Amino acid sequence: MNNLVYMSALGIVNPLGVGKKQVAANLFSGVQSGMVWRKGLLTDQTVRVGAVTTPLPQIPIEMPHYNTRNNRLMLLALQEIDTEIRQAIDHYGADRVAVVLGTSTMGLSDAEPGIIEKINTGSFPDTYDYKFQEPAGLSEFVAKYYGLKGQAVTISTACTSSAKAIAAARRYMNAGMCDAAIVGGADTLCRLTVNGFDALSSLSADICNPFSVNRDGINIGEGAAAFLLTRTPADIVLLGVGETSDAHHINAPDPEGTGALRAMDAALTDANLTAADIGYVNLHGTATPLNDAMEGRAVAQLFGPDILCSSTKAMTGHMLGAAGANEAAFLWLMLTCNDATLPVPPHLWDGCSDPDIPLSNFAKIGQQSAEGATALLSNSFAFGGNNISLIMGKG
């Protein structure tokens, strides 16, 4: 039996644009136009965020409980692969296509005005709907939208949510619980998360500066990415998954990167690969002092300091629960290139190296991978020491 899981189709929207073609063009060119100043997220000040500014599709009128910006972002991503999804449903049946998605903000951006009114007046407005902020709402919406009757699961593990969703769906498929799955995630800009990271003194004063000695924090971003996972051979395959939970601290990573290192090593073992087989690493790279330091040490220990790598968060912001799927999508976009070398997302920063971070081969705009690179790795790390690494390759 073929246990490989193929990433057959991709739909995407984030601060780099809408759809594979636009996102890829802007990603590989180092475009930062989606990193904008925004009022209203922090009290009495503006903040730099990664924003989606394109109009979003409307939720069907018969689904008012799911009418949130988060679900509209996901719907826009799904529309790009709607034909492939419906073909999978026709082929496998509505009870054999699972929905496994990740989010951390859910529909909080739509619930926040009602919560604020409750605080100020003592009563919720008529427009407030608690279901807007239920984590389950994302996968419930997608399942109902497509009339699916199988598993509909939302995973919320902060910044690893949508990467964990991909891993969970693969387990469901390997366990025989489904034959195909809609996977990925969505997260939306909202006051709760921006103020939360501000309270941790973790927001950058401008566009984030990952792995620089001058880094000062993150930008929050938003976006959605959706893959269709199937057994049918396709161009891109999910080769390996590595997951760990080191539980070092609730909001600070293990400074030695032990859990991150183990996750990457487990993904290599799962893929039956060695470190030398990996042609590029998409770094979690939040531009916070502690995260970048630990990840740099872990990556250099496993792959050596010269591994080709980059953090893409200076182009998108940190999309939180949607980051893992979007950054897996960046690997997907690299791998769909048919040339001997692959385009690489550039690492945008001030070029001022941190002597405590032993990485030296950050990708530049226009850089290509080494010839024959066919296996790529992406890292996602979250609060509580929740770590995951995904390895993808050509099918």
What residues are labeled active site?
Answer: 159, 284, 318
- The answer to whether the CB of 179 falls within 8 A of the CB of 92 is yes
Q: DSSP class of residue 215?
A: -
386 membership: H or E segment, kind and range:
strand 386-394
Q: How many residues does the chain have?
A: 395
Distance from chain centroid for Cα 369:
22
111, 220, 249, 261, 283 from 254: Cα distances, Å: 34, 22, 7, 11, 16
DSSP H stretches of helix in the chain: 20-29, 69-79, 82-92, 108-121, 137-146, 161-174, 191-199, 258-271, 289-303, 313-316, 323-335
- The answer to whether the CB of 206 falls within 8 A of the CB of 192 is no
Residues 6 or more apart whose Cβ sits within 8 Å of residue 32: 207, 314, 315, 348
**d(C-alpha 365, C-alpha 85), whole Å:** 34
